[in-house]
Structure 1
Amino acid sequence: MKKVTVSGKTVDEAVETALAQLNTTKDRVQLTVIEEPQKGFLGLIGSKPALVEVLLKPDPVEESLAFLNDIISKMDIEVEIKQSTNRDGHVFELTGEKIGVLIGKRGQTLDSLQYLVNLVANKHSEGYIRITLDAENYRARRKEALEQLATRIGQKAIKTRKEVILEPMNALERKIIHVTLQDMKGIKTYSEGVEPNRRIVVAPK
């Protein structure tokens, strides 16, 4: 964390000087007034300036990005990370030659990294921050595959009049299955089991 101690004729003047030194804004700092300004005899002799301590708060997204870069560098993988935002929050898009290593089987490595990155971000944030990790559009491709799977399983449950139990999935993937099948007539879906082995059951009504 960066911290500066600055004096000025007034508290506001000292704060403005500190913000300029830190190249930031007031909402990004923690301010402590060490000494209020004091007027001396006849307004001159013995006067004391204001003294403030200004601490730059860590940026949650920057901290999480630094954490992710550190992990990837230790894995000896060269990856480019592009940062963007959408309606759900922040997105870190990863690209590179060995990107499959970071995705892992059914995205498990990517999900684990995403979980850790969000832990770091929210450790430094006063409000909840959501960061999504994606790798060469894996999330969209996985969503499409799950929607196709859900449709096939739904049709199978209707045809055979038997329930179908899917493999364990994380909460986000289960939601995709539920949403895809919610309007399909003749079936119902529900989840059973305990994380990380919680899975969806598609059953005829």
Structure 2
Amino acid sequence: MSSSLEFEAKAVDKALEKASKALNIPIEKLQYKVISYGSSGIFGLVGVKKAKISVTVPDHVKLKTSPPPPVHPEPESPTRRADEEIAADAGDDNLEAVNEPTVNRVAALVEEAFGTESDAVDLDSDAIIAGKDALRRIIDFITTGADISIETKADRIMFNIEGGNAGVLIGKRGQTLEAIQYLVEKIVNRQSDKRIRIQVDVEGYLNDRRENLRNLARKLSEKAKSTGKPATIGQMNAHDRRIIHLTLKNDQGVRTQSIGDGFYRKLVIFPKKRRKKQAL
């Protein structure tokens, strides 16, 4: 009785070539069915899906290659503290933190229809033009009536969106906006020789969120100090965690620590133990 094997590649013809080589059968003699034709995704960056075929293997055929052993990821290093917490959350603000499922949801929508000081970026550069064009194409699949303005600060390009359905563009906890920023930064930096940081905002949402996070940090700091118990803020990306760390960095009564794994880790505010005064 014949068995079947599945082969994946960027396109069906490449998957057929792989199957032909593995089974030592000419492509024209392969018996197969296409499971998925694959997808190039959004701008070739995310949402990419490989083509997959199922090939009938004759009983007399022996495979020339065997599948590679599974790769087990190495465990992450222990969580860093104090200033290391800020450094850990200070790097690729939107790149490290973006929730991949959220990025894929933004890509699906399209398919269906802060750093070192340097000179300001030239507004006429190809990178900025590419970034604005990419952002326009993305938001046009999500909403209508949105306008884009551009501002540069040192090595950071700021794209500000006004109009349209702001709530949909921002998404829950800003996840959709974060995914859009991730995509635009990827595209811009494909056109640039140096790393250019990108910020995408919708009607001042980022400034409002920054101020709300600072107020939340101060409120939970006071709570932790008054109760003597840790206060936890769940599901925060690296950019938001850094805001909390910086807000409470000089607060002598508490310390902050990021805990957990994955894109959205928790941040815990620990009250510091008070030292007892020594008797004279």
TM-score by length of 2: 0.51
Q: Which gives a bigger RCO, structure 1 or 2 (Cα 8 Å, sep 6+)?
A: 2
The aligned residue for residue 77 of structure 1 is 144
The aligned residue for residue 185 of structure 2 is 118
Q: Does 1:147 align with 2:214?
A: yes
Task: Quote the Cα distance in structure 2 between the aligned partners of 1:190 and 1:90.
Answer: 30
1:50-71 CA-to-partner distances (Å, cap 9, x unmatched) read xxxxxxxx81111111111111
Contact kept? 2:220, 2:269, Cα under 8 Å: yes
Identify the structure with the greater strand proportion. Answer: 1
Contact kept? 2:127, 2:188, Cα under 8 Å: yes
Q: Does 1:67 align with 2:134?
A: yes
Task: Quote the Cα distance in structure 2 between the aligned partners of 1:97 and 1:113.
Answer: 15
Q: Does 1:98 align with 2:165?
A: yes
Q: Does 1:181 align with 2:248?
A: yes
Task: Quote the Cα distance in structure 2 between the aligned partners of 1:68 and 1:120.
Answer: 10
Contact kept? 1:164, 1:203, Cα under 8 Å: yes
- For structure 1, list consecutive stretches of 5 or more residues without a partner in the other structure: 1-57
The aligned residue for residue 13 of structure 1 is none
Q: Which amino acid aligns with 2:176?
A: T
Task: Quote the Cα distance in structure 2 between the aligned partners of 1:94 and 1:174.
Answer: 24
Question: In the TM superposition, what is the alpha-carbon distance from 1:77 to its structure 2 partner?
Answer: 2.0
Q: Which has the larger Rg?
A: 1
Identity of aligned residues (%): 39
The aligned residue for residue 164 of structure 1 is 231
The aligned residue for residue 109 of structure 2 is none
RMSD between superposed Cα atoms in Å: 1.3
Contact kept? 2:253, 2:271, Cα under 8 Å: yes
Aligned length: 148
Task: Quote the Cα distance in structure 1 between the aligned partners of 2:155 and 2:261.
Answer: 26
- The 3-state SS of whatever aligns with 1:184 is coil
Contact kept? 2:143, 2:164, Cα under 8 Å: no
Task: Quote the Cα distance in structure 2 between the aligned partners of 1:62 and 1:72.
Answer: 16
- The 3-state SS of whatever aligns with 1:194 is coil
Q: Provide runs of 4+ in structure 1 moved above 4 Å.
A: none
- The 3-state SS of whatever aligns with 1:168 is strand
The aligned residue for residue 21 of structure 1 is none
Task: Quote the Cα distance in structure 2 between the aligned partners of 1:125 and 1:76.
Answer: 29
Task: Quote the Cα distance in structure 2 between the aligned partners of 1:80 and 1:102.
Answer: 12
Question: In the TM superposition, what is the alpha-carbon distance from 1:87 to its structure 2 partner?
Answer: 3.1
Task: Quote the Cα distance in structure 2 between the aligned partners of 1:75 and 1:97.
Answer: 9
Task: Quote the Cα distance in structure 2 between the aligned partners of 1:89 and 1:184.
Answer: 30
Q: Does 1:196 align with 2:258?
A: no
Question: In the TM superposition, what is the alpha-carbon distance from 1:76 to its structure 2 partner?
Answer: 3.8
Task: Quote the Cα distance in structure 1 between the aligned partners of 2:173 and 2:134.
Answer: 23
- For structure 2, list consecutive stretches of 5 or more residues without a partner in the other structure: 1-124, 273-280
Question: In the TM superposition, what is the alpha-carbon distance from 1:197 to its structure 2 partner?
Answer: 2.5
